[in-house]
Amino acid sequence: MIQNKKLVNKIFTCYLSLGSNLGEREHFIKNAVNSLKKKIDIIKISSQYETEPVGAGTNPYINIVLKGKTDLTPYQMLYFIHTIEISLGRRRDQEVVWGDRTLDIDILLYENFMISDYRLTIPHKQMLKRIFVMEPFAEISPNFLIKSIKVSEHLFRLKDENPYYDITKIGELKLT
Ligand code: A4P
Ligand code: MG
């Protein structure tokens, strides 16, 4: 367990993943990024990708990944992203696991922290298995090392294992 005392007044580098597959998907992603900017200095942001749903969903997602700097601790960040998801209409009580959602924000990485408790797991448990995360990640940070392997190499392996997975870059996110 990380001691919060030690984390006060520090600046952390984090990677977040955003996805939406219900309603005005681009609108939800844009609004979420604008809200995130209140607490995160965004350093890099990927293009938008339209992606095949993994799990119980039916509609294609828009996914992006961003890199930022923040003074929030990981648990403060978790609370912050839940507030944004709810403000943009997400209703967890009406969802099935991995089903359709207006907006999902996941914390992928936070500095080099390893966290695993009932509230939060960092690195995100599924990230290395998901092309909809690793392709936008590779666009912004191809040489970043995860488990001593470049993100671009993780993506290469994943694409090799899932040659028919449907993912299309659909352009930059135009923030207003
Ligand atoms: N939680 C634990 N660790 C984290 C973390 N690193 N970041 C906890 C964010 N939350 C974390 O999450 C459930 C609980 O996980 C939270 O209350 C938090 O305390 P959730 O967002 O309510 O549920 P979820 O999103 O269904 O769970 P999870 O495990 O994050 O699923 P994923 O991996 O996000 O899967 N297909 C495509 N193409 N694109 C997608 O974006 N997303 C999902 C959801 C399924 N299929 C998809 C996509
Ligand atoms: Mg999630």
Q: What is the pLDDT of residue 1?
A: 47
- For 172, residues 6+ apart whose C-beta sits below 8 A from its C-beta are 47, 48
Q: Give 123-175 pLDDT, tens digit per residue.
A: 999 999 999 999 999 999 999 999 999 999 999 999 999 999 999 999 999 88
Nearest CA to ligand 1 atom 22: 92
State in Å: Cα 56 to ligand 2 middle.
14
Which domains, and CATH codes, for the chain?
10-167 (3.30.70.560)
Between the CA of 104 and the centroid of ligand 2 the distance, in Å, is 5
> Which residues are CB-contacts of 83 (< 8 A; sequence separation ≥ 6)?
none
Mean pLDDT across the stretch 36-53? 97
| Percent of the chain whose pLDDT exceeds 70 | 89
Report pTM. 0.92
Q: Note if 93 is an active site residue.
A: no
